[in-house]
Structure 1
Amino acid sequence: MSTLRDNWRVILLVIAVLASTFALFSPTVGGQSSVDGQPTAEEDSLTNVKYGLQLNGGTRIRAPLVGITAEDVEFENETDRVVEQQVAAELSGADAADIIARRGAESSTVEVTIENVTTDQLAAALDAAGYSHGEIRDGVTEMTRQDTVRVLQSKINEAGLSGGSVQQVTTATGEHFILIEVPNRDPSSVRELVSERGTVQIDIYYPTTENGSRVYETREAVLTQEDFTSIGTAQEPQTGGGSFVPVSVKDDPAPEFQQAVKETGLAQPGGTRCTYNDDPNATEGCLLLVVNGEVVNAFGMSPNLADSMRNEEWAEAPSFQLQTRNTTEAQQVAINLRAGALPAKLDLSGDDGGTTSFISPTQGESFKSDSLLTGIVAVLAVAGVVFVRYGKPEVALPMIVTGLSEVYVLLGFAAAIGYPLDLSVIAGFIAVIGTGVDDLIIIADEVMAEGSVTSRKVFQSRFRRAFWVIGAAAATTIIAMSPLAVLSLGDLQGFAIFTILGVIVGVLVTRPAYGDILRLLLTEDR
Structure 2
Amino acid sequence: MGPVAFVKEYWRILMIVGFVGFALIALFIPGGIVADETLVDDGEVEETPTNLEYGIGLDGGTRVSAPPVGMTAENIDIEPGEEHEVQSTLYSYDYENADLEPRDANVRFHEEPPRHTAELFSNDVTQAEFAAALQEAGVDATEDDIENGVTQETRDEIIETIELRINEGGLDGGTAYEEATLGGGYYIVTEVPGMDPDELRELLTARGEVQIVAYHPDDDGQQTNTTVLQGEEIADPGSASYDEQRDRHYVPVSVDNTPREDGTSPAQDYQDSMNELGFTGEGQGQCQIHDRAAGEFHFDHDQPQWCLLTVVDGEVVDAHSMGGNLGQSMASGTWVNDPSFQMIVPTQQDAHELSVNLNSGALTAPLDFSQEQTFSLEPALADQFKLYSLIIGALSVLTVSGMVFLRYRNPKVAAPMILTATAEVVILLGFAALIRMPLDLSHVAGFVAVVGTGVDDLVIIADEVMDDGEVSSQRVFESRFRKAFWVIGAAAATTIIALSPLAVLSLGDLRGFAIITILGVLIGVLVTRPAYGDILQRLLTDK
Q: Shorter-chain TM-score: which interval?
A: 0.7 to 0.9
Kindly provide the amino acid, as one letter, of the partner of residue 475 in structure 2: K
**Which residue of 69, 72, 75 corresponds with 2:72?**
69
Larger deviation, residues 333-342 vs 323-332: 323-332
Deviations 1:373-406 (A, max 9, x none): 3223322332343334333332222222211211
Query: Equivalents in 2 of 1:322, 1:401: separation in Å?
Result: 58
- Identify the residue that residue 41 of structure 2 maps to in structure 1: 36
CA contact (8 A) 2:496 2:518 kept: yes
Could you say what secondary structure the match of 1:517 adopts? helix
Of residues 14-23 and 482-491 in structure 1, the stretch that sits farther from structure 2 once superposed is 482-491
CA contact (8 A) 1:55 1:368 kept: yes
SS at match of 2:192: strand
User: How far is 1:216 from its partner?
Assistant: 6.8
Question: Within 5 A, what are the aligned runs for 1:217-228?
Answer: 220=227, 223-228=229-234
Q: Distance in 1 between matches of 2:215 and 2:135?
A: 31
Moved more, 473-482 or 458-467: 473-482
> Among 354, 363, 366, which residue is 1:345 paired with?
366
User: Hey, what's the Cα distance between the residues in 1 that align with 2:199 and 2:208?
Assistant: 15
Matches of 2:466 and 2:92 in 1, distance apart?
81
Look up the SS of the partner of 1:177 in the other structure. strand
Give 1:493 deviation, angstroms: 2.1
Structure 2 CA distance for partners of 1:81 and 1:358, relative to 1, 3 Å: same
Deviation at 1:368, TM superposition (A): 1.8
1:380 aligns with 2:398: yes
In the alignment, residue 247 of structure 1 is paired with which amino acid?
Answer: V
Q: Letter of the aligned partner of 1:33 in structure 2?
A: T
Change (3 A) 1:216 1:122: farther
2:125 to 117, 121, 132: 117
Give the unaligned 5+ runs of structure 1.
Answer: none
TM-score of the pair, normalised by structure 2: 0.84
Q: Give the Cα separation in 2 of the matches to 1:270 and 1:456.
A: 93
Q: CA deviation at 1:127?
A: 2.1
Deviation by residue 1:8-60 (Cα, 9 ceiling, x = unmatched): 211211121222222222122451424433879xx443222222211122222
Distance 1:84 1:237 in 2: 42
Q: Which moved more, 1:152-161 or 1:278-287?
A: 278-287
The Cα offsets for residues 98-141 of structure 1, whole Å up to 9 and x where unpaired, read as: 22332222222232223322222222222223344583221122
Check 1:267–1:77 CA distance in 2 against 1; reply closer, same or farther (3 A cut): farther
Contact 2:271 2:336 in 1 (8 A): no
Equivalent of 1:292 in 304, 308, 313? 313
The question of whether the paired residues in 1 share the 8 Å contact of 2:72 and 2:151 is answered with yes
SS in 1 for 2:110: coil
- Structure 2 distance, partners of 1:16, 1:285, is 65
How far has the Cα of 1:239 moved from its partner?
Answer: 7.3
Q: Work out whether residues 465 and 477 of structure 2, in 8 Å CA contact, stay in contact via their aligned partners in 1.
A: yes
Unaligned 5+ runs, structure 2 = 289-297
Deviates more, 1:231-240 or 1:104-113: 231-240
What is the Cα-based RMSD across aligned positions, in Å? 3.3
Which digits, 9 at most, give the CA deviation of each residue in 1:415-447, with x for residues without a partner?
222222111111111111122112112212222
Q: Distance in 2 between matches of 1:27 and 1:260?
A: 46
Conserved? CA contact 1:103–1:109, under 8 Å: yes
Match of 1:165 among 159, 175, 178: 175
Counterpart of 2:291 in structure 1 is: none
Where does 1:169-248 land on structure 2 (aligned, <5 Å)?
169-203=179-213, 220=227, 223-235=229-241, 240=246, 243-248=249-254
Worse-matched range after superposition: 242-251 or 470-479: 242-251
Aligned match of 1:154 in 149, 161, 164?
Answer: 164
What displacement does 1:275 show?
A: 4.8
Q: Summarize the Cα distance change of 1:519–1:77 in structure 2 as closer, same or farther, 3 Å threshold.
A: closer
Establish whether residue 425 from structure 1 lines up as the match of residue 443 from structure 2.
yes
3-state secondary structure, aligned to 1:60: strand
Pairwise CA distance, 1:161 = 3.0
Partner AA of 2:135 in structure 1: D
For residue 189 of structure 2, give the secondary structure of its aligned residue in structure 1: strand
The 5 Å alignment of 1:48-87 reads 48-78=51-81, 83-87=86-90
- 1:453 equivalent in alignment to 2:471: yes
Distance in 2, Cα, partners of 1:427 & 1:261:
60
- The answer to which of 292-301 and 237-246 deviates more is 237-246
Structure-1 residue corresponding to 2:281 = 270
- % identical equivalent positions: 45
1:371 aligned partner: 389
Of 28, 32, 38, 1:25 maps to 28
